[in-house]
Amino acid sequence: MSRSHETRIVIDAPIEDVWKALTNSVEAARWFAPTMVIDPKPGGKFIADWGPGLRWVTTCEAFEPTRHLRLSELRSEIFSAAEQKTQLEPARLVQDFHLTTENGQTVLRLVHSGFGSGGDWDVEYDGTRQGWRACFLRLKLALEKHRGQRASNFILSWECRGAARETALAKIQAHLPDGFEPAFLGETEFAGVVPAWNHSVFNVSSQPLPGGAMLYLEFVLWGVDAANANALENDWRARMASWYPAA
C-alpha cells in the first residue's frame, strides 16, 4: 500500500501569479530550485536542478491553468546528493497541485502520493513532507514580499562524517544568523526568515548516511546583490569545511 501527505498554504496573491510561479521556469527559480526548465503542457517535462546528484525530472500529466497541475515520476532510489544512492522498491510518485480562491487570496494545496509503505521509503516520505513546507514558505514570501525582486537561489550539500543527523542539524542551529526568525522546526528540517538578508529564507534539511549525515543548506535571497550573495555562500562553505572536513 502506498502513502501520501498533504501541504496547504494561503498566499495573498492573485491565483494567476501563483499558477505562473508553478509553471514558468523563471518564476519557479525564484523559490524552488536554482535551475528550472519547464515545458508547461501535458506530457511536458518539469526539471528542477539543485546541482550534482539533485536533478529532479517529472512529467506533466494534468495541466488546467489556475486549477490543477499534476506531475509524476517513477523512482527506485532516494533523492540525495550522496555518491551512493539508497535503492528503493520502485514506485510511481505523483504531485497534485490544486488552486482555489478564498476571500481574495489563493489557497494552494499539494497532495504528494505514491510513496512505498516499506521502511526504506521513510526518509523520502518524511523529507518531502517537511520539505514542501519550506518550499511553500519561499513561494509565499516570493509573491507577497519580494515581487519583482531578483533572487539568488543556491544550495550547499554537505556530507557530515561521524555526525548523526540530529547532531548536524543542532550544529547549524547553534550558529544561525543574527535575528533569525524561525517559521517551523521539524525533526529533519527547519526554516526561517533572516531580516538582515532582506527578509530572505534560510532552510536546512538532513538525511541519514552510513556513518554520518547529509545536510542541505538552502538560501533563497531576494534583492541581495551578487557580491553579497557570493560572500554569504563562501562564508557558509568555509564553516562547513571547518566543522566537517572532506575525507
The residues facing 7 across adjacent strands are 110
Confidence of residue 224 (pLDDT cuts 50, 70, 90): very high
Predicted local confidence at residue 84, as pLDDT: 80
Number of folded domains in the chain? 2
Alpha carbon 55 to its chain centroid, in Å, reads 12
Shared domain check, 133 and 204? no
Q: Is 178 helix (H, G, I), strand (E, B) or coil?
A: coil
CA-based R_g, the chain, Å? 18
The residues facing 145 across adjacent strands are none
Shared domain check, 8 and 101? yes
Shared domain check, 231 and 127? no
Of 94, 112, 144, which residue is a domain's last? 144
CA–CA distance from 139 to each of 20, 21, 32, 130 (Å)? 11, 8, 8, 15
> Which residues are CB-neighbours of 54 under 8 A, at least 6 positions away?
79, 80, 81, 155, 157
Of 144, 171, 201, which residue is a domain's last? 144
- Average pLDDT for 227-244: 97
Predicted local confidence at residue 247, as pLDDT: 60
Q: What confidence tens digit (pLDDT) does each residue in 75-93 have?
A: 999 999 988 888 999 999 9
Shared domain check, 139 and 18? yes
Shared domain check, 121 and 81? yes
Q: What confidence tens digit (pLDDT) does each residue in 173-204 have?
A: 999 999 999 999 988 999 999 999 999 999 99
Which domain does 30 fall in, by range? 3-144
Q: What confidence tens digit (pLDDT) does each residue in 29-48 have?
A: 999 999 999 999 999 999 99
Helices (H), the chain: 15-23, 25-28, 122-144, 165-173, 226-243
- Average pLDDT for 218-247: 95
Shared domain check, 55 and 19? yes
Shared domain check, 38 and 135? yes
Q: Is 131 exposed, middle or buried (0-12, 13-18, 19+ CB in 10 A)?
A: buried
For the domain that residue 62 is a member of, what is the CATH number? Answer: 3.30.530.20
Shared domain check, 162 and 60? no
Q: Rounded distance, CA 187 to CA 190, Å?
A: 8
Which value, to the nearest 10 degrees, does the dihedral of the CA atoms of residues 184, 185, 189, 190 take? 60
CB 102: neighbour CB atoms within 10 A?
8
Shared domain check, 111 and 7? yes
Contact 230, 211 (CB under 8 A): no
Of 94, 124, 144, which residue is a domain's last? 144
